[in-house]
Amino acid sequence: MTIGGTIEFIAAFLVLAGAIMALISAIGIIRFPDVYTRSHAGTKSSTLAVLLTLLGAFIHIAAEQGFYSVRLLLGIVFVFLTAPVAGHVIIRAAYRAQVKMSDTTVEDELKQEVERMKKNAEADRNERGEIINEEQKEEKEQQQ
């Protein structure tokens, strides 16, 4: 096998592996029981899928046309920076909206913390739901 052929094979293999990872990610999103476990498949596998596909495209274009597309590399960097943050924000919003976890879930240490925060937030508000300042807070406590 020539060097060009080997490079072409590597590029094709990377793109194929990326496509397979994307498929697995999609199957995972269908098969997993709740939003939290689905988010696992959504963030990790699709990030790797995008990484492999873009890397394969980069190698292919560099070998075929001798053009080094830095934009593809930048695309990889940006996906890496944004995908975990997006996953975090979505799962956090889901938790705050009290989306139920699957029945097999065994442990939840965040529950107490959220309840405590809710209590604090209620203490900071008056009957109409407006945020109150320190003096008003003391007044409210005295009333109680």
Partner 1 sequence: MPLQIILNIIIAVMWMFLSESYTFPSLLTGFIIGALLLFMLRRFIPANFYLYRVWKIIKLLLLFVKELLISNIDIVKWVYKPKQTYYPGIFAYPTELKSSWEILLLTSLISLTPGTLSVAVSDNNKIIYIHAMDIESDETSIKEIKETFEKAIMEVTR
CB of 142 to partner 1, least distance (A): 26
For residue 131, CA distances in Å to 124, 125, 136, 137 come to 6, 5, 10, 10
Shortest CB 44 distance to partner 1, Å: 5
Tell me which of 8, 28, 61, 72 binds partner 1, using CB under 8 A: 28
Q: How far apart are CA 7 and CA 83, in angstroms?
A: 29
Q: Is 110 in the site for partner 1 (CB under 8 A)?
A: yes
> Per-residue contact track with partner 1, 87 to 106, x per CB under 8 A?
xx--xx--x-----xx-xxx
β-bridge mates for residue 125, sequence order = 131
Positive or negative, the Cα torsion across 8, 11, 17, 21? negative
Cβ of residue 127: shortest distance to partner 1, in angstroms?
A: 25
d(CA 63, CA 70): 14
**Least distance between partner 1 and beta carbon 46 (Å):** 10
Binders of partner 1 among residues 39 to 78 (CB under 8 A) are 39-41, 43-45, 47-48
